[in-house]
Amino acid sequence: MKFENAWPSYGGIFDWDVAVERLAALNARAEDPELWNDPNRAQAIMRERQHVESAITSYETLERELTDNIELIEMAEEEGDADIAKESERALRRLFKEVQRRELEALLSGEADGNDTYLEVHAGAGGTESQDWAQMLLRMYTRWAEAKGYKVELMETSAGEEAGIKSATIVIKGQNAYGWLKTESGVHRLVRISPFDSNARRHTSFASIWVFPVVDDSIEVEINESDCRVDTYRASGAGGQHVNTTDSAVRITHQPTNIVVQCQNERSQHKNRATAWSMLRARLYELELKRREDLVQAQEAQKTEIGWGHQIRSYVLQPYQLVKDLRTGVESGTPSAVLDGSIDPFIEAALAQRVHGGGTSEVADLD
């Protein structure tokens, strides 16, 4: 395998002078009539331009809101208007939280942080319980993505025998999708009274999440096709018009790493094959990123048992209500909100820990 990255890294976007200079340079390139002779390069430049312009506008908005609220507090103090002063103080506290989030977002300067991302869900041992839990996690991440304004597409899914899913892959499209979600890879543990147990006993279920970036044409990943096994099979579905009567689904196994990708969302085997190869490139690139960053080794993670001792987060619904991230110590007492997609406090803490090192312990306010 060979890796080459020509994707520009322009992290630290809140370096004002650098951002302004970069936007001017991108605007000049966008006006070049020869730019669209290379459509892929042109699209990459336009995406970067939009990102830098959005960051500058956001910074200006935050600065303006800060100035306005400080002036309101000064006026309220002069006029003795306690209500306006309190409201402006609340606005400043909200602004402070937003600045903290923006600061964290500015640190998403890794090679692929700005890219779209694939997200895989796999049920652990436990049959229907774990398969239902896997579907709950898929819903959680889908809701999180949609709340961010991201586009979500289902690439493949394998339904459970009675309920839930055995596995599924989605692609989440939007700026920094991979950067935000990259720390979510790992095993997630659920404790609850089983809705499938007639004796209403408490069960523990596990499911794993795997996140890897979509790679564009600026990132070259060469794959030796002789290292891969390509299988076709009949796509599964919910029945009716969703059932495919031909072997259109494609599964590719990269034998040196034992990475497996599959796609069945198109009726055309040709399209599914092309998408599967793209997914394999993305997985191999993510593997290389992990190696470079000297984090969890991807090949070992693939061999990790989905069960006790390997979880990154626990979701307890009974006998008490608590979601706790075992890496950062961040907690929430409202699991229902978390499972509806309110996972930003966990994501932000994990990213901050990854960038700055060390841990944190706090209760997430998701109300």
Unique residue bearing structure tokens 């100035």: 67
Domain 117-356 has CATH 3.30.70.1660: yes
Region for 333 from its dihedrals, namely left if φ exceeds 0, alpha if ψ lies in -120 to 50, beta otherwise: alpha
Return contacts of 318-326, CB within 8 angstroms, 24+ apart.
318/191, 318/192, 318/193, 318/202, 319/202, 323/364, 325/349, 325/350
| Sequence ranges of the domains in the chain | 7-106, 117-356
Per-residue pLDDT of the chain (367 residues; tens, 9 = 90+): 444 443 333 344 456 788 888 889 888 888 888 888 888 778 778 878 887 887 788 888 888 888 888 888 888 888 888 888 888 888 888 888 888 777 777 667 677 888 899 999 999 987 889 999 999 999 999 999 999 999 999 998 998 888 899 999 999 999 889 999 999 999 999 999 988 877 778 889 999 999 988 876 556 677 888 889 999 887 765 544 444 556 788 999 999 888 999 888 788 888 888 888 888 888 888 877 777 665 444 434 444 556 555 689 999 998 899 999 999 999 999 999 999 999 999 999 998 887 665 444 444 444 3
pTM of structure: 0.66
What was the pLDDT predicted at 7? Answer: 32
- What the block records as the tokens of 38 is 């290379």
Cite the beta strand spans of the chain per DSSP E: 2-5, 117-123, 151-159, 165-173, 186-193, 202-213, 219-222, 228-233, 249-254, 259-263, 311-316, 322-325, 331-332
CATH of region 7-106: 1.20.58.410
Residue 62 contacts residue 102 (beta carbons within 8 Å): yes
